[in-house]
Amino acid sequence: MQKYDVAAYIWPSYTGTEIRSRIFWEEGIGEWQTVRKSHEEHPERPLPLWGFEEEADPKVMEKQIDEAVSHGVNVFIYDWYWYDRLPFLEQCLDNGFLKAANRSKMRFYIMWANHDVGLTWDRRNSDLPVDTTIWQGSQDRANFETVVHRIIDNYFSQPEYYLIDGKPVFMIYDVGNLIKGLGGIDKTCEALEWFREETKKAGFPGLELQMTFWNSMSVNLSGVDANHEGSAYDAVRLLGFDSISHYQFVHFVPLWKDRSYNDMFDIVDREWAEIDRNSTAVYYPHVSVGWNNDPRFRTTERGTLTDNTPENIEKMLRKAKKYLDDHPDRARLITVNSWNEWTESSYLEPDTKYGYGYLDAIKKVFVDEQ
């Protein structure tokens, strides 16, 4: 049994089976369309070694599960969406993972990616000077309850769902949007407590409510509730989150063009130490593989990370492992961005530059040495 749970986020857009996705990727192959066009314009950008696979195909997912588990990735965190009273991009989880014959090898949990959607996914228009909100991520109480019942009925009930102390883990990405939709801090607390009770009614001892932590100033409570003020740490405390983890280094690391990954080690140390001092919730360490979302744009003006070699990723993974070893009071969980964020250049899947280098880095730290 692997001693640590290495949980990789999954961006479930690499499928043609989601009809609503064609407003962004009209060719019907999901965001593989963006990856391919980006490579055509910039041939130096790596391509997936496995090709442009249909990730809602259970046969494809069976191979990915085998490769992930054999290299030490034993949990998938699925980005999950709800817009205009409907789910979005559920197919990779529902038709891929949950229909894979070997799914019992792997566990999974949900991150509700409740952010607004603009033009970033649409490469034809992502460089326009003014963004446009296509879908709002904030949801009122009625939609929130619909989401909760869908999550409990469809996912918490699965034997592979990831638990901490017997409680299903559910992560929320955009806490500001959550508060905005539910009508303030107090009403959000009521809604989350209702969620906990509904989870208990389903037969669990409780709910492990997890917050995606960006940085201390990423939540301005007075901006979403005039009766409260404070930072992200105050949101964690007031809303009673049990645990937090990051989604991406870029959420707390200022970037410029070609900033070196070598700069990340000291920054991450400071970030984790600050969290230990200020957070009322348990922190689970996070490792990002890289960052460059230029593939989603026609221009190349944004901040990027360079030197994200397998050797540097291995070094960061060892740092995360040591953090857990120094905090023996918590589950052995590490989050990684990501399994397949190709258009953000932060992925573990094999590519034409490093081959299986990133997966081998995880294997060295969490499989070979145990």
At residue 65, does pLDDT exceed 80? yes
For the segment 19-27, the average pLDDT, to the nearest whole number, is 96
Task: Say if pTM beats, i.e. exceeds, 0.95.
Answer: yes
Summarised one tens digit per residue, pLDDT across range 240-277 is: 999 999 999 999 999 999 999 999 999 999 999 999 99
Residue 8 DSSP class = E
Q: For residues 335 and 360, what is the distance between their CA atoms, to the nearest angstrom? A: 17
Confidence of residue 369 (pLDDT cuts 50, 70, 90): confident
Summarised one tens digit per residue, pLDDT across range 2-18 is: 799 999 999 999 999 99
The dihedrals phi and psi of 49, each to the nearest 5 degrees, come to: -60, -30
Confidence of residue 115 (pLDDT cuts 50, 70, 90): very high
Environment class of 182 (CB within 10 Å of its CB; exposed 0-12, middle 13-18, buried 19+): buried
Average pLDDT, the chain: 96
Domain housing 321: 5-368
CATH number assigned to the domain comprising residue 239: 3.20.20.80
Asked if 118 and 83 count as a contact pair (C-beta separation under 8 A), the reply is no
pLDDT at site 1: 66
Residues with Cβ within 8 Å of residue 43, at least 6 apart in sequence: none
Other Cβ atoms less than 10 A from the Cβ of 139: the count is 22
Least Cα distance to 356 among 292, 307, 313, 315 occurs for 313
The dihedrals phi and psi of 183, each to the nearest 5 degrees, come to: 95, 30
Structural domain total, the chain: 1
Q: For residues 363 and 369, what is the distance between their CA atoms, to the nearest angstrom? A: 8
At residue 331, does pLDDT exceed 80? yes
Asked if 351 and 289 count as a contact pair (C-beta separation under 8 A), the reply is no
Confidence of residue 324 (pLDDT cuts 50, 70, 90): very high
For the segment 311-332, the average pLDDT, to the nearest whole number, is 97
Matching residue, tokens 């989050």:
335
H-run or E-run covering 82: strand 75-83
pLDDT at site 217: 82
Summarised one tens digit per residue, pLDDT across range 167-224 is: 999 999 999 999 999 999 999 999 999 999 999 999 999 999 999 999 888 887 777 7
